[in-house]
Amino acid sequence: MAFSLTAPPTMMATCHCSRCRKVGASTFVFVEAETFHWISGQDAVARFKAEPPSRYDRCFCRHCGTALGEPGGGASFPINAQCLDDDPQVRARFHEFVVEKPDWYQICDDAVQFAAHPVKSAE
Ligand SMILES: [Zn+2]
């Protein structure tokens, strides 16, 4: 599976919730739909449907196992920052769900931290 972006992502953040951690996609970037273009393998993308309160489906490549985030999920959608080959030219704006962060993981940047989702929790 391969894709290209014709413009840098609009933002990057890290989610420490157990759901994101377990798919290895906790650092994500948001991309505008019109900048995301499949090159190959779109038909190999499998999707786990999100169940409320989770908002985003989880997609991965059936051939290589790469966690993708949710390509195609609206006008702007999150994709896994780890699956980008090149520097996306954005840096983490915040950490969310830090109360679910495992003790062994240490946040080593100055990005703002939220206990839960940024719009649902105070800093
Ligand atoms: Zn999460």
Across residues 90-102, what is the average pLDDT?
Answer: 95
Mean pLDDT of the chain: 90
For 59-75, write each residue's pLDDT tens digit. 999 998 899 988 777 89
Find the 98 Cα to ligand 1 centroid distance in Å: 10
For 15-32, write each residue's pLDDT tens digit. 999 888 888 879 999 999
The model's confidence at residue 35, banded by pLDDT at 50, 70 and 90, is very high
Query: pTM for the complete prediction?
Result: 0.86
Find the 84 Cα to ligand 1 centroid distance in Å: 19
Residue 123 has pLDDT above 50, yes or no: no
Nearest to 95 by CA among 82, 104, 108: 108
> Which backbone phi and psi does 42 adopt, to 5 degrees?
-60, -35
Find the 89 Cα to ligand 1 centroid distance in Å: 22
* Residues around the ion ligand 1 (C-beta < 5 A): 15, 17, 20
Write the DSSP assignment of 51-86 as a string of letters.
Answer: -TT----EEEETTT--EEE-TTSSSEEEEEGGG-SS
For 76-87, write each residue's pLDDT tens digit. 999 999 999 999
Residue 52 has pLDDT above 90, yes or no: no
| Structural domains in the chain plus CATH codes | 2-113 (3.90.1590.10)
Angle at 94 between CA 75 and CA 61, to 5 degrees: 50
The SS3 call for residue 2 is: strand
